[in-house]
C-alpha cells in the first residue's frame, strides 16, 4: 500500500507516512469523523482543549503553573483558549443580538427608563416654563437622546468586535492582577494567567447567557458575581492564599478597578465638556 499523498510505500499497519508525515486514512467519512475533524482542523482543539477546560474548573493552578514552568504541549495555548471562547461569543451574541441588548438593558433598567422618559418628553406640554427652564429641558432631552443613541452604538460595537475587545480586556485584567498580586510573576506571565482565567470565564458567561434567554435575564447578571468568585478561586489556588488574604487581594483589585473607572469617567467628562463647548448638544 502506498501513501495517498506522496505515493511512498507504507509499512504494514502504519498510522503515518514516514516520508511526508501524512495520516494514513483507511476508513470512510462518517458524521462523527466530520465533527472530530472540524474540532481539530478548523478550531485547532482536541483532547488538550477538554483537558484544559476540565482542569480550569478543578485545578486552575495546575494548568497555569505547569504552562508557566514550560509544560507547553499538555494544555491548549492560553491565547488560543481565549480566542476560541471569544469567537464563540461573537457567533452566539450576534445570533441572539436582540436578546443580548435586551439583557444588557435589563441590568440597568431603572436608569434606562429615566433616560427614555427624558428623551421622549413632549416639550410642548410645558407651556408655562420660562425661557431658562425651557432651554434646560431641551438640553436634557438632547443629552438623553444622545445617551440612548450612544448605548445602542456601544452594544452593536461590542457585538461586532467582541473578539478584539476580549484581548483588550485581557491587558486591562493583567495590569490589575499584576498591581494586585505583584511577585513572583512578571507582566507577561500575568497576561498568560489572565488568558486562561478570562478564557474559561467566557465559556461560563456563554452558558449563563443562554440560560438567561431561556429562563430569566437576572441569570446573566448573577454570572458576574460568579465570575468574580472564580477569579478569587483561581488566583487563591495559584498563590496559595488563605481566605482572609484572598479577600484583601480582592479589595486591592477593586481599588485598582475603581481608579481605572474614575480615570475613564474623568476622560468621558472632559470629552462631554468639550462637545458641550462646541455646541454639540445644541444642534
Q: Are residues 36 and 65 in the same domain?
A: no
Each residue's pLDDT tens digit, 177-193: 998 887 889 999 999 99
Over range 58-74, report the average pLDDT.
Answer: 90
Number of domains in the chain: 2
Q: Are residues 31 and 66 in the same domain?
A: no
Q: Is 12 a residue whose pLDDT tops 50?
A: yes
pLDDT at 79: 92
- pTM of whole model > 0.85? no
Q: Are residues 69 and 186 in the same domain?
A: yes
Q: Are residues 12 and 136 in the same domain?
A: no
Q: Are residues 155 and 268 in the same domain?
A: yes
Q: What's the CA angle centered on 75, arms 71 and 79, to 5 degrees? A: 100
Grade residue 235 by pLDDT with cuts at 50, 70 and 90: very high
Q: Are residues 20 and 103 in the same domain?
A: no
Q: Are residues 206 and 237 in the same domain?
A: yes
> Residue 203 sits in which domain range?
48-282
User: Could you give the CA distance from residue 238 to residue 171 in angstroms, rounded to a whole number?
Assistant: 19
Q: Look over the chain and give the mean of its residue pLDDT values, rounded to a whole number.
A: 80
Q: Are residues 31 and 97 in the same domain?
A: no
Q: Are residues 156 and 38 in the same domain?
A: no
Q: Are residues 174 and 270 in the same domain?
A: yes
pLDDT at 283: 44
Q: Are residues 116 and 228 in the same domain?
A: yes
How many C-beta atoms lie closer than 10 Å to residue 70's C-beta? 7
Q: Extract the C-alpha cell encoding 242.
A: 488563605
Grade residue 97 by pLDDT with cuts at 50, 70 and 90: confident
Q: Are residues 81 and 8 in the same domain?
A: no
Amino acid at each position: 500500500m502506498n501513501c495517498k499523498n506522496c505515493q511512498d510505500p507504507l509499512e504494514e499497519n502504519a498510522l503515518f507516512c514516514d516520508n511526508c508525515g501524512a495520516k494514513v486514512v483507511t476508513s470512510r467519512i462518517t458524521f462523527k469523523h466530520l465533527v472530530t475533524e472540524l474540532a481539530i482542523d478548523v478550531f485547532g482543539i482536541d483532547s488538550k482543549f477538554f483537558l484544559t477546560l476540565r482542569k480550569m474548573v478543578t485545578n486552575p493552578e495546575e494548568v497555569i503553573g505547569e504552562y508557566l514552568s514550560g509544560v507547553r504541549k499538555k494544555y491548549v495555548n492560553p491565547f488560543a483558549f481565549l480566542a476560541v471562547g471569544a469567537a464563540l461569543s461573537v457567533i452566539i451574541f450576534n445570533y441572539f443580538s436582540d436578546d443580548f441588548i435586551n439583557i444588557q438593558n435589563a441590568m440597568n433598567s431603572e436608569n434606562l427608563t429615566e433616560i427614555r422618559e427624558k428623551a421622549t418628553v413632549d416639550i410642548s406640554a410645558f407651556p408655562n416654563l420660562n425661557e431658562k427652564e425651557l432651554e434646560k429641558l431641551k438640553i436634557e432631552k438632547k443629552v438623553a437622546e444622545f445617551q440612548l443613541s450612544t448605548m445602542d452604538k456601544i452594544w452593536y460595537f461590542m457585538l461586532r468586535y467582541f473578539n478584539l475587545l476580549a484581548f483588550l480586556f485581557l491587558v486591562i485584567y493583567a495590569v490589575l492582577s499584576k498591581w494586585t498580586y505583584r511577585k513572583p510573576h512578571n507582566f507577561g506571565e500575568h497576561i498568560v494567567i489572565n488568558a486562561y482565567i478570562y478564557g474559561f470565564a467566557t465559556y461560563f458567561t456563554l452558558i449563563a447567557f443562554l440560560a438567561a434567554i431561556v429562563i430569566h435575564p437576572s441569570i446573566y447578571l448573577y454570572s458576574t458575581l460568579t465570575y468574580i468568585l472564580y477569579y478569587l478561586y483561581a488566583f487563591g489556588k495559584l498563590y496559595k492564599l488563605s481566605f482572609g488574604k484572598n479577600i484583601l487581594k480582592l479589595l486591592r483589585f477593586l481599588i485598582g478597578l475603581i481608579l481605572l473607572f474614575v480615570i475613564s469617567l474623568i476622560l468621558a467628562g472632559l470629552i462631554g465638556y468639550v462637545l458641550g463647548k462646541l455646541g454639540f448638544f445644541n444642534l
